[in-house]
């Protein structure tokens, strides 16, 4: 066996031995308490029909985009969609990327330069870390949601400074003290960038718009693969930023543009997002009910969260697997989040609530959780 194969096998064997081997699993018929489809858009027959109807208006549209946006892959439809999305989120401009991962890698690898600074919350998403790593900027992390820790880093930072947070954290479901963070970044002349991947949906245009802070935020990232039920992402910001990214963001420049079908799906999903008050209310009620039923259970540490992501810390990979296994045996699709994806000792059960879950399903979830003993 060659050296590369030996290396690969050893790494995989190490993973298996430490109990964190990752495997793809086919879809199942359990009750969905783990997907990011918060408002049921991915499974919406209405959205599917609307996409088909929209496609029918463009009989000459191509199956594939045939090239990057800068070569043969640009469509007037894509540029109009960017403007519509920007208006929806009350931003000056938007630039589409093929995924949230691409958007973050493109933004953070191209904008901060040598001598500049990127300051991230310690729980920031991997796509932001990867983008920041590709930049030549100095990188800092501050303690999760901790203003004092952030201020310490702002004092150390030199050059153009970018502070990066999520409005709802993907693995904790909590929300940072956005106004306090914004005030600090303003005091230190830093630029605040907010990833809104998990906030859009419960807050239709995102938490920043909900709080009326859109004009004070340097850039926002919205992904379409979560509550919007499709695929892709947009970076929202100024016209100048859009122009810059078109020129320098390599994950925008060097990739085939989204297909017309993908653009039509995003456009129709945004149309639907204008009418989700009822679904968002159902979701809010489920979140309230879930927290109420779990809060009295002393063996579980429920992380503070008002979002659709509710996490229960069970302290070890073994416990996390045990609890998720019990929930799956009861017919509920709930996944364990293991270290090293989260810090050792904070291994957890990550539950995503959805507007399409039924009240009975939510009750089954809480009653099952309340009957499991996890300490092994």
Query: Is 140 one of the binding residues for ligand PLP (CB under 6 A)?
Result: no
Query: Of the two residues 245 and 369, which places its CB atom closer to ligand PLP in the complex?
Result: 245
Query: Is 41 one of the binding residues for ligand PLP (CB under 6 A)?
Result: no
Query: Of the two residues 223 and 262, which places its CB atom closer to ligand PLP in the complex?
Result: 223
Three-state secondary structure of the chain: CCHHHHHHHHHHHHHHHCCCCCCCCCCCCCEECCCCCCCCHHHCHHHHHHHHHHHHCCCCCCCCCCCCCCCCCCCHHHHHHHHHHHHHCCCCEEEEECCHHHHHHHHHHHCCCCCCEEEEECCCCHHHHHHHHHCCCEEEEECCCCHHHHHHHHHHCCCCEEEEEECCCCCCCCCCCHHHHHHHHHHCCCEEEEECCCCECCECCCHHHHCCCHHHCCEEEEECCCCCCCCCEEEEECHHHHHHHHHHCHHHHCCCCCCHHHHHHHHHHHHHHCCCHHHHHHHHHHHHHHHHHHCCCCCCEECCCCCCEEEEECCCHHHHHHHHHHHHHCCEECEEECCCCCCCCCCEEEEECCCCCCHHHHHHHHHHHHHCCCCC
Query: Is 99 one of the binding residues for ligand PLP (CB under 6 A)?
Result: yes
Q: How far is the CB of 75 from ligand PLP (least distance, A)?
A: 20
Q: How far is the CB of 7 from ligand PLP (least distance, A)?
A: 28
Query: Is 175 one of the binding residues for ligand PLP (CB under 6 A)?
Result: no
Query: Is 100 one of the binding residues for ligand PLP (CB under 6 A)?
Result: yes
Query: Is 197 one of the binding residues for ligand PLP (CB under 6 A)?
Result: yes
Which of 37, 172, 195, 279 binds ligand PLP (CB under 6 A)? It is 195
Query: Is 101 one of the binding residues for ligand PLP (CB under 6 A)?
Result: yes
Q: For ligand PLP, which stretch binds (CB under 6 A), given 107-115, 192-200, 292-300, 355-363? A: 192-200
Query: Is 167 one of the binding residues for ligand PLP (CB under 6 A)?
Result: no
Positions 217 through 236 that interact with ligand PLP (CB under 6 A): 223, 225, 233
Query: Is 121 one of the binding residues for ligand PLP (CB under 6 A)?
Result: no
Residues forming the site for ligand PLP (CB under 6 A): 99-101, 104, 125, 127, 166, 170, 195, 197-198, 223, 225, 233
């Amino acid at each position: 066996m060659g050296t590369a194969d030996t290396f690969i096998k050893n790494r995989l064997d190490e993973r298996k031995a430490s109990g964190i081997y990752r495997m793809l699993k086919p879809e199942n018929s359990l009750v969905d308490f783990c997907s990011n489809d918060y408002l049921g858009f991915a499974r919406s027959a209405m959205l599917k029909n609307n996409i088909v109807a929209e496609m029918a208006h463009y009989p000459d549209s191509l199956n594939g985009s045939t090239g990057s946006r800068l070569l043969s892959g640009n469509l007037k439809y894509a540029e109009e969609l960017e403007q519509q999305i920007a208006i929806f989120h009350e931003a000056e401009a938007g630039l589409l990327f093929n995924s949230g991962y691409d958007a973050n890698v493109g933004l953070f690898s191209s904008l901060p330069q040598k001598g500049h600074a990127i300051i991230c919350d310690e729980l920031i998403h991997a796509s932001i870390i990867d983008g920041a790593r590709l930049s030549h900027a100095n990188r800092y992390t501050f303690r999760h949601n901790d203003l004092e820790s952030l201020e310490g880093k702002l004092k150390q930072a030199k050059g153009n400074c970018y502070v990066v947070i999520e409005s709802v954290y993907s693995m904790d479901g909590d929300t940072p003290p956005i106004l306090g963070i914004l005030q600090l970044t303003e005091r230190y002349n830093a630029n605040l960038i907010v990833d809104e991947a998990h906030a859009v949906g419960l807050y239709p245009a995102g938490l920043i718009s909900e709080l009326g802070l859109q004009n004070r935020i340097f850039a926002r990232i919205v992904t379409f693969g979560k509550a919007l039920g499709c695929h892709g992402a947009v970076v929202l910001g100024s016209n100048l930023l859009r122009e810059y990214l078109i020129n320098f963001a390599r994950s925008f420049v060097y990739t085939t543009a989204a297909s017309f079908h993908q653009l039509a799906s995003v456009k129709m999903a945004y149309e639907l997002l204008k009418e989700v008050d009822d679904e968002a209310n159902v979701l809010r009620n489920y979140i309230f009910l879930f927290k109420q039923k779990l809060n009295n259970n002393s063996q579980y540490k429920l992380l503070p969260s008002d979002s659709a992501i509710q996490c229960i810390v069970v302290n070890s990979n073994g416990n996390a697997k045990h609890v998720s296994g019990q929930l799956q045996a009861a017919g509920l699709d709930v996944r364990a989040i293991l270290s090293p994806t989260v810090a050792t000792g904070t291994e957890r059960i990550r539950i995503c609530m959805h507007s399409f879950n039924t009240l009975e399903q939510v009750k089954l979830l809480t009653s099952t959780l309340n009957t499991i003993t996890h300490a092994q």
